[in-house]
Structure 1
Amino acid sequence: MIIYKQFSFDSAHFLPQVPEGHKCGNMHGHTYLLTVYIEGQPEEHSGWIIDYGDLKKAIKPIIDQLDHHLLNEIPGLENPTSENLSIWLWNKIKPLVLGLKKIELKETPSSGVIYEGF
């Protein structure tokens, strides 16, 4: 069984590796939508895989590092593409959340990344 919880955050960034004149080389912002998927079997007593409140507590400090910040200034995100941000998020979340299956990160309603780790 797979459960999920969504989180949103607003961040600015620019992509320093794009060709000169590319619009994403300019600073701009997104309202990101992060979905965290957890795989497991419901625990017999509670009936839950994980308490959503506990999941929220685990993820909140990570989201707080990103929300209303310039991603390029965060160590490890000097080239903050959605792909690189997904890897960064995975590496922060994986040690905290037992059963992490995948994450989905949308930078717009129609564009995003699904990452299942390496």
Structure 2
Amino acid sequence: MEIYKIFNFDAAHHLACNVPDGHPYSRLHGHSFQAEVFLRGEPDIDTGWIVDFAQIDTALQQLRNELDHNYLNEIPGLELPTVENIACWIWNRLSPDFPQLCRIIIRRGSFGEGCIYEGPAKEPAARHHG
């Protein structure tokens, strides 16, 4: 079973270091972002919750305070603020407190673009030769 919470933020950024000269993203510009945070698990037998939404709300409000109406390139860890890196940044901020975290989706709705991140790649199981 999965639960999710959505939060929105508006922010400016530029990608001058990884795009060709004249590319529109090389200039300072802004987007309205939507972040969706998914947690997977079984409801606790006593509470009936996977996680208390109030806990999630508190954590997401802290992230929103850092991201909303800010220049993403100046946020530590977001010096290259692509949707992929924003998803990873949010994952890294939330995963220590929410081991149930299973997916982050970042959307730039007006562009019809986004990213789905399901956590760091897992190491393949060791193969035994014998």
TM, length-normalised to structure 2? 0.86
Letter in 2 for 1:113: C
Shift of 1:107: 2.0
Rg bigger for which structure? 2
CA distance in 2, matches of 1:41, 1:103: 19
2:6 alignment counterpart? 6
Q: Does 1:94 align with 2:95?
A: yes
Percent identical among aligned pairs is 43
Please say which of residues 100-109 and 36-45 is displaced more in the overlay: 100-109
1:27-106 superposed matches below 5 A: 27-106=28-107
Determine the C-alpha separation between the residues in 1 that align with 2:73 and 2:94: 20
- Structure with the bigger RCO (C-alpha within 8 Å, sep 6+) is 1
Task: Answer whether contact 1:58 1:97 (CA < 8 A) is retained.
Answer: no
Runs of 4+ in 1 over 2 A off after TM superposition: none
Aligned positions, number: 118
SS of the residue corresponding to residue 98 of structure 2 reads coil
Consecutive unaligned residues of structure 1, counting only runs of 5 or more, are: none
After superposition, the C-alpha distances for 1:70-110 in whole angstroms (9 at most, x for unaligned) are 00111121111111111111111111213000100012341
- Normalised by the size of structure 1, how large is the TM-score? 0.94
